[in-house]
Amino acid sequence: MNLKEAFRYQNKLQSLLDEAQGILDCDANVTKVANTYLRHKVMPEAEDETVMDVAQTEYAEQITDVARFMLYLLEEKSRLFAAIRKAKDALDMDMDSEVSLNAARQSIARTFKRMNDLRSSEQLLSGGGTGYRFNAEGNQISYCCDVKRVTTINYDRKVIHAALSKLNRQADETSNRLDICLVTSKVDYTVPFDVNASFAEAFEIYLENAKN
């Protein structure tokens, strides 16, 4: 498989781990509850009756196997991580660093694009201003006036525009290189079950292999 497929399978293993852990985290799944109705105490002729609570999962009788399956998935995830690390080391670029750096480039580019799109403007705010004056009787009264608001950019647009163009070009070039690495790399890992397998299917395959 290539790195792109390996990352997808990595997510698959994690989703199976989460599902297994969800089963084990529910007390109703990992315990049996017996309710005994003590009818004989109130009616000597009646017999006590014990009723078991209904299990919350179809795996109620396989909880130990589910726990083992979860440990197995963890081991598979560790093996896949090691194979991915080996594949990355064989690349002519530090993929993790480039991904992080490219994310920073794209974040800065978004800020610069917003600045690049800003324009100087002028608007009249009718009645937007207030003040005080004295009237003929010498009393202080408030009044309203229009406000002319002028907004101008406070930076060199040419510098921002040039930097934006350079960042976009670098980000695109790096993204293309990363895409090529994802599909041309070789990850030495054999999948234990199909990436589209359900939890039930993966668990069944695990149980079959565990018997052998």
pLDDT tens readout for residues 8-49:
999 999 999 999 999 999 888 888 888 888 888 888 888 888
What global pTM score does this model have?
0.75
DSSP for 76-106? HHHHHHHHHHHHHHTSSS-HHHHHHHHHHHH
Average pLDDT over residues 38-66: 86
pLDDT tens figures, 119-165: 989 988 898 888 888 888 888 888 888 889 899 999 999 999 999 99
Q: Where in the chain are the domains?
A: 1-90+191-212, 93-118+158-184, 119-152
When pLDDT is cut at 50, 70 and 90, the band that residue 80 belongs to is very high
| 174-183: average pLDDT | 95
Angle at 185 between CA 180 and CA 186, to 5 degrees: 160
Residue 108: strand, helix, or coil: helix
